[in-house]
Structure 1
Amino acid sequence: MRTFLTTSKIIVFALALLLSACNSKPKGQDSSETEANKSGENWIQLFNGKDLNDWDIKFKGEEMGVNYNTTFRVEDGLLRVSYENWDEWNGKFGHIFYKGEFSHYKLHVEYRFIGKQAKKGPGWAFRNNGLMIHGQSAESMALDQDFPTSIEVQLLGGITGKGERSTMNLCTPGTNVVMNDSLIEQHCINSTSETQLDDKWVDVMVEVHGGEVIRHFVDGVEVMHYEKPQLDPRDQYYEKMLPLYGDKMISKGTISLQAESHGTDFRKVELLVLEE
C-alpha cells in the first residue's frame, strides 16, 4: 500500500510537469503575437523595434530627412511620436514614411496615445494620428505641404466621461473614394467602431486591395469599407500628382504615420503582402 501511494504521487507529479510544459510559451515569445503570425503567414515587420533606418521623415517647412525636435524616435522598443522637445505647436505637421510602395496588403498596427497634447495644438488633433496609405512619396512633397496626398486611416482616442469618439475613420487629403456606389467628397467619415478610451493599446488592421476595396478593422471587427480610391481634381496638388500616380485612380502608394501634436506610441507595425 505504501509503495502504491508513492508511485501514484510520482505519476501525478510527472503529469503536472507535462501539462505545464505544454501550456507555457517559449522564452522571449511576445504575448501580443497575432493570430496571423501564429498561422505561419509571412508578415513583414515595418518597425523592427530598434531603429528607423528603413523610414523617411518629412515635416512641413523642413527638407526631407530632418527629424524636427527629434519627434520620431525609438524608446523602450516603441516607435514613439514625442512632443517633449516642443515648447508649443507651430503648425509643423510631420510624417514618417516606410520605404517603397505597396498595393495589395494587410497593415496591422498596435498603438496608444500618451501624455498631453503639445501646447496650442489644434483641438481636432487631440489624441489624433493616422495611417496614411496609397500615399505619395516623401521626396515628392512640397516644402510647405501639410499632408501627403493619400488615404488617411484616422486613429482617434477618447477620454473616460468625455463622450464617444470612433477610431479607424476615413479622411481624404487630396483624394476621394466611393461608398455605396456614390463618390464621397466629404473630407472625413466616421467608422462604426467603439470609443478607445484613455491610454489603452488598440489593435487595428487595414486590408487593402489595390484600387478596389479597402477595409478597416478594430480588434478583428470590420468597422468601415469603401472602394475606388482616386485623386481629387479640386485639390491644389492634383496636376502634380497625376503623372506621379500615372492615373486619377489610385492602386498603390506609400505607407506613413503622422505627427499632429499629440504623443503616440506604436509597438507593432507589420505588413502582409496579398496576392493581386
Structure 2
Amino acid sequence: MASCMRKPAVSDGWIPLFNGKDLNDWSIKIAGYPLNENYGQTFRVSNGVLQVSYDHYTDFGVKYGHIFYKQPFSAYLLSVEYRFTGEQAKGGPGWALRNSGIMFHAQNPQTMGKDQDFPISIEAQFLGGNGKDERTTLNLCTPGTNVVLKNELYTPHCINSSSRTFHGDQWVKAQLLVLGDSLVKHMVETDTVLVYTKPQIGGGNVINFDPAVKVDGKLLKEGYIALQSESHPVEFRKVELFNLEKYMDNPAELNKLLQRLRTN
C-alpha cells in the first residue's frame, strides 16, 4: 500500500480527522452493501458529534459497519473520545452489547468484499460497563491479523487490557500509539493498558474477503483508520491524530515528543 502521509493541518501538529461538521473525509462500508451506502443513516453527525445509530433499523442482523478516514497512516498518536448511549439494536449479538472499536492498519475499504464482515486490521476494542460486571476497554482483537505479545506470536482473536471499567454513558478518552510495524500501545485516560509488537496479517475471524488481500505473515507497516458499528449506539466527539512518521529515525526526539504529548 503506497504511503501518502501529509503534514499536520493545524499549528500544534494535531490533525482533526473528524471535523465536527460532516463525514466528507470518510468512506462507509457496511456488510452486505456497496461501499459508501450508508444503510439506515448508521453514521451521521449531530450537534458536532459523530454518531453511530440504529434508529432506522428494524433488525441489526449481520450489518457490521465501519467508517474509514480517507487516507492511510503509518506512525502516529491517535486520540479519540467516545461514549456508549442508549439501547442495543434489535437483533444485535449478545457479545456486541456496549461494544465498538477503532480498526487501524486496516485494508483499503475499496478492497473489501461486499459481504465482508470486518476489514483485515488490528482492532482496539471499546467495551462499556453493563452496570454490574467488570469489563475492560481498549482490548485487542485481530480480524485477519496476529501480533507479537511478550515475544511470542499471539493467535487467539482477543485479549483483555488492564483498564478499569467505565459504566454508564460517560465519555472516555482513548489513545493509540502506533509505530509502523514495530510497537503499539493502548492507553485509556492516563494509563497504558496494553502493549504489543509486530502487527501482521494472519489468522481468521474475518469472512468473505478477497484472498489476494490476505497475505498471511505480511507485517502491517501502515493502513487505514476506521470506527466501528457493531449494533450498540456510540458517539465520538473527538478523533484526532499526531503524525509521527518524520520522527521515526530519531528515537530520542520521538521519545521527547511523546512525553510532551502525553502530559498535555
1:262 is aligned with what amino acid?
H
Structure 1 CA distance for aligned equivalents of residues 164 and 79 of structure 2: 18
Matched residues, number: 234
C-alpha change, 1:176 and 1:185, in structure 2 (3 Å) is: same
Instruction: Answer whether contact 1:174 1:238 (CA < 8 A) is retained.
Output: no
Give the equivalent residue in structure 1 for 2:164. 194
Give the equivalent residue in structure 2 for 1:263. 233
Give the equivalent residue in structure 2 for 1:240. 212
Give the equivalent residue in structure 1 for 2:127. 156
Instruction: Answer whether contact 1:232 1:238 (CA < 8 A) is retained.
Output: no
Structure 2 CA distance for aligned equivalents of residues 69 and 97 of structure 1: 17
Instruction: Say yes or no: does 1:231 pair with 2:201.
Output: yes
Instruction: Say yes or no: does 1:249 pair with 2:219.
Output: yes
Give the equivalent residue in structure 2 for 1:120. 91
Instruction: Answer whether contact 1:212 1:229 (CA < 8 A) is retained.
Output: yes
Rg larger for: 1
Structure 2 CA distance for aligned equivalents of residues 189 and 238 of structure 1: 26
Give the equivalent residue in structure 1 for 2:256. none
Instruction: Answer whether contact 1:153 1:169 (CA < 8 A) is retained.
Output: yes
**Deviation at residue 140 of structure 1 after TM alignment:** 0.4
Structure 1 CA distance for aligned equivalents of residues 164 and 12 of structure 2: 29
**Deviation at residue 242 of structure 1 after TM alignment:** 5.0
Instruction: Say yes or no: does 1:104 pair with 2:75.
Output: yes
- The alignment's TM-score, normalised by the length of structure 1, stands at 0.82
- The alignment's TM-score, normalised by the length of structure 2, stands at 0.85
2:47 to 54, 71, 76: 76
Question: Structure 2: which 5+ runs fail to align?
Answer: 1-10, 249-264
Instruction: Answer whether contact 2:103 2:121 (CA < 8 A) is retained.
Output: yes
Question: Structure 1: which 5+ runs fail to align?
Answer: 1-39
Structure 2 CA distance for aligned equivalents of residues 87 and 231 of structure 1: 35
Return the structure number with greater helix share: 1
Instruction: Answer whether contact 2:98 2:130 (CA < 8 A) is retained.
Output: no
Identity rate, percent: 51
Deviation string 1:96-126 (CA, Å, 9 cap, x unpaired) is 0001110000110000000000012100000
Structure 2 CA distance for aligned equivalents of residues 165 and 238 of structure 1: 34
